[in-house]
Amino acid sequence: MFSPTIIIEAMINGLLTGAIYALVALGLTLVYGVLHIINFAHGATLAAAMFAVWGLNAAFGIDPYWAILIVTPVFFVLGYGVQRFVIGPAAHGDDGNILLITLGLSILIENALLAGFGSDTRSIPSDFSFSVVEAGPFLLSSARLVGAAGSLIVAVLFWLLMSRTDTGKAIRAVAREKLGANLVGINVGHIYAITFGLGCAALAVAASLLMPTFYVNPRIGGAFVNIAFTVVVLGGMGSIPGAMAGGLIIGMVESLSGLLLGESLGQIGIFIIFILVLLLRPTGLFGAKA
């Protein structure tokens, strides 16, 4: 039905997209691993970051890749502030409340974007978006290659941050034993906020890497958040290597099922994986058994 070249090309494209999915899922799984909460506003935050990248380009002509240097710190600070001053105090320590607050934030961000930018779809036109690299019989999008490489770099940076720095140690301590960390003098509220900020910063990088090949509208977060949840659940909630592996798997599944079933039914594969993993192995493929 399909020639091997087409299938292999679809797989490679899937892997490249999957690397970006992994980056989107990275922040989600990090926040879950440390705060033990699911951030429903993750998708909306991504949409906001994509609009920020688009806006910087539209207003000042800043290249999306250079925008990383601006949006990443800004989103870190925003994430820090939201966790420290909104989610933390409002939740009264109840997980169910956190879930609902992040849902509220997601509705708020999405509709603020809608009010500010309208429902139109925007993209950043550039020649680079369409440039391709020839690798043997395959044609690969340059922007996607850059995106995948960028994702891998961010993943490595995260890993270094978590394993080599004092902040990373503090984050891991809080993730494992909140009370104990508090007793040895770690400010848990501060670490929570830093973790949340890092999650948002990862989204900002993802937004910058996505914009050259993707479009943005206020509802774009929904598409990504479903995928990010699936990636996180598949890789095991809270596991960073799991998110990377999960992202690559989902990217491939989506690409192949899109090829075989068509665009709209292609999504079904993802939901089915999501539901099956939750029902049969909620700790994920790589997570420890509960």
Residues that bind another protein (CB under 8 A): 37-38, 40, 86, 89-92, 95-97, 99-101, 103-108, 110-112, 114-115, 118-119, 218, 222, 226, 229, 233, 264-265, 267-268, 271-272, 274-275, 278-280, 282
**Beta carbon of residue 21, minimum distance to another protein (angstroms, whole number):** 16
Distance in Å, CB of 223 to another protein, minimum: 10
Q: Is 112 or 146 the residue whose CB approaches another protein more closely?
A: 112
Which one, 90 or 132, has the nearer CB to another protein? 90
163, 175 contact by CB (below 8 A): no
Query: What residues are paired with 140 via a beta bridge?
Result: 133
The residues near 54 (Cβ < 8 Å, ≥ 6 apart) are 122, 123, 124, 211, 216
Contact in structure between 71 and 203 (CB atoms under 8 Å)? no
Q: What does each C-alpha distance from 261 to 92, 251, 265, 269 come to in angstroms?
A: 46, 15, 6, 9
- Report the nearest approach of another protein to the CB of residue 75 (Å): 20
* Least Å from the CB of residue 98 to another protein: 9
Give CA–CA dist 168/195, Å, rounded: 9
CA nearest 220: which of 137, 85, 120?
A: 120
Of the pair 87, 143, the CB lying nearest another protein is at 87
Q: Write down the least CB distance from residue 97 to another protein, Å.
A: 5
**CB nearer to another protein: pick between 54 and 229:** 229
Q: Which is nearer to another protein, 9 or 110 (CB)?
A: 110
What does the block give as tokens for 241?
């290597």
